[in-house]
């Protein structure tokens, strides 16, 4: 059974990777892979009730991510419908590829700890599409957004779901994770950014304001500001809502979407009925990329069965038994998170190692937070930010593998080295 599930999983990933060649949307093989893996598990299991329970548990966990993704994408779509992104695009006037790459990468890096890496990736990729014409240049910018979002999320207790898991589990504290991982995370971004920006020359082809399409309805600058700031404040307050209520993030994004709905209905009250509809969240929902959400569902279902069958925990156990060095184990787990989701990997790690073995703020837990947070950048489907960006910007798997993976891995190991040296020298 295990061999068959792994085989289906690998074939499914290959089908996703060869999307450009097969001309079949990646959502289709992702959904088939997820359902087939669970089907094999159910057919070979002697306890169907247990399988049903595990599937329901996985869906309960992952549906939260999907609702969060849908809510965040809808809010971004609302801002876009009201020309809110023009507030930023009007102020980014440079046409230098290098300067623009640095501006977008650093903006992403410092937004990610506040918004979280998934939301930041959605916002920044949408922004990049408003500035850059289609082509390879845009792909490079999207790739750096993925690396920057994951690097920025790693040093914040609310920047990445795995860091949040470790924070809520008592393995790390907020102040300490910021202090210890800020420099390694900066290095993991700056190394690939320096290499890539050195290779980028000339001027970027920007989309002219009148070619953006924009809102089908005339929008005043005041209206743009109201919608843009409302959306941004709602996204920023989602982590605060989670911290205060201890409810999952999708609850915060859903109440935020409801508030955004009311604000946009009220601000468009003086317009014609047909115009109001074109500016409404109901209209924005039609523009949300549903295939990307279904792709995400398929990926999460596939990973859920790997967790339910114990394949992931078995892999973690094998690493512990065969690799004795803590740092090597953690870095291997980090790179493994580029192939399978970092959430079940961290959950398996939390189950394997206790706070008696490694107390709160131990080197091991902090390094896990860094490695699983940034390691997913090695593949475009290795992180939530990457999967979302792949769906929105249609970046090809093999294009990313050929041109970006080595840069992401260089940054990953550079940041890891900084963390190890920092710990060895300062012992904080």
Q: Which residues contact 86 (CB under 8 A, 6 or more apart)?
A: 130, 209, 212, 214, 224
Nearest Cα residue to 37 out of 22, 60, 55? 55
CB 335 within 8 A of CB 374: no
CA dihedral 191, 129, 119, 162 (to 10 degrees): -40
Per-residue pLDDT, 211 = 44
Nearest Cα residue to 188 out of 148, 130, 146? 148
For 77-125, the pLDDT digits (tens) are 888 778 787 787 777 777 788 999 999 999 999 988 877 788 788 888 9
Whole-number Å distance between alpha carbons of 126 and 124: 5
Per-residue pLDDT, 212 = 45
Q: How far is CA 155 from CA 14, 111, 121, 368, 418, in A?
A: 32, 12, 16, 11, 14
Whole-number Å distance between alpha carbons of 78 and 84: 8
Per-residue pLDDT, 274 = 60
Show pLDDT as tens, one digit a residue, over the chain (428 residues).
Answer: 888 998 998 888 888 777 767 778 778 888 999 999 999 999 888 888 888 888 888 888 778 778 877 888 788 888 877 878 778 777 777 778 899 999 999 999 998 887 778 878 888 898 888 888 777 888 999 999 999 999 999 998 878 878 877 886 788 887 888 899 999 999 999 999 999 998 888 887 766 554 444 555 667 778 888 888 888 888 878 878 877 888 887 888 899 999 988 888 887 655 666 666 667 777 777 777 778 788 878 877 887 888 888 887 777 677 777 777 888 888 988 888 887 767 667 766 776 777 888 898 888 999 999 999 999 899 888 887 888 888 788 888 889 999 999 999 999 999 999 999 998 887 66
Whole-number Å distance between alpha carbons of 120 and 11: 31
Q: Which value, in Å, is the radius of gyration of the alpha carbons in the chain?
A: 21
Query: What are the domain boundaries of the chain?
Result: 58-426
Per-residue pLDDT, 253 = 86
- Between 363-374 and 174-199, two packed helices, what is the crossing angle to 10 degrees? 40
Q: How far is CA 101 from CA 97, 249, 402, in A?
A: 6, 30, 20
Burial 282-315 (b: 16+ CB within 10 A, else e): eebeeebbeebbbbbbbbbbbbbbbbbbebbbeb
Q: 3-class DSSP state for residue 339?
A: coil
Per-residue pLDDT, 273 = 62
Q: What are the phi and psi torsion angles at 96 (to 5°)?
A: -70, 125
Per-residue pLDDT, 210 = 45
Whole-number Å distance between alpha carbons of 5 and 102: 42
Q: State pTM to two decimals.
A: 0.75
Structure-token match 């159910």, residue found: 42
């Amino acid at each position: 059974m295990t061999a068959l599930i792994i085989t289906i999983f690998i074939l499914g990933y290959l089908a996703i990777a060869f999307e450009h060649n097969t001309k079949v949307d990646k959502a289709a093989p992702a959904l088939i892979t997820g359902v087939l893996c669970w089907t094999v598990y159910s057919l070979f299991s002697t306890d169907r009730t247990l399988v049903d329970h595990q599937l329901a548990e996985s869906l309960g966990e992952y549906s939260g991510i999907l609702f969060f993704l849908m809510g965040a994408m809808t809010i971004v779509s609302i801002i876009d419908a009201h020309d809110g992104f023009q507030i930023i695009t009007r102020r980014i006037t440079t046409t230098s590829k290098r300067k623009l790459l640095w501006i977008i990468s650093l903006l992403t890096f410092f937004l990610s700890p506040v918004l979280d890496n998934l939301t930041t990736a959605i916002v920044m990729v949408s922004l990049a599409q408003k500035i850059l014409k289609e082509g390879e240049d845009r792909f490079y910018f999207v790739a750096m957004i993925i690396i920057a979002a994951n690097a920025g999320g790693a040093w914040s207790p609310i920047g990445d779901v795995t860091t949040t898991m470790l924070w809520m589990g008592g393995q790390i504290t907020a102040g300490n994770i910021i202090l210890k991982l800020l420099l390694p995370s900066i290095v993991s971004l700056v190394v690939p950014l320096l290499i890539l920006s050195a290779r980028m020359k000339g001027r970027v082809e920007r989309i002219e304001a009148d070619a953006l399409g924009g809102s089908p309805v005339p929008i005043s600058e005041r209206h743009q500001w109201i919608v843009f700031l409302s959306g941004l404040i709602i996204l920023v307050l989602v982590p605060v809502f989670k911290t205060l209520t201890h409810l999952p993030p999708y609850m915060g994004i859903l109440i935020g979407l409801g508030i955004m709905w009311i604000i946009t209905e009220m601000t468009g009250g003086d317009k014609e009925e047909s115009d109001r509809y074109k500016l409404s969240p109901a209209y924005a929902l039609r523009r949300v990329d549903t295939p990307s959400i279904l792709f995400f569902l398929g990926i999460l279902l596939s990973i859920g069965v790997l967790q339910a069958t114990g394949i992931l925990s078995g892999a973690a156990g094998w690493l512990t038994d065969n690799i004795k060095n803590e740092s090597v184990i953690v870095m291997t787990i980090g790179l493994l998170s580029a192939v399978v989701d970092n959430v079940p990997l961290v959950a398996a790690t939390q189950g394997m190692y206790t706070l008696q073995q490694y107390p709160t703020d131990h080197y091991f837990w902090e390094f896990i937070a860094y490695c699983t947070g940034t390691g997913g950048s090695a593949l475009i489907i290795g992180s939530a930010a990457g999967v979302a960006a792949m769906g929105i910007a249609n970046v090809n798997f093999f294009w990313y593998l050929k041109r970006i993976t080595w840069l992401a891995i260089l940054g990953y190991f550079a940041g890891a080295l900084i963390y190890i040296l920092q710990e060895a020298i300062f012992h904080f």
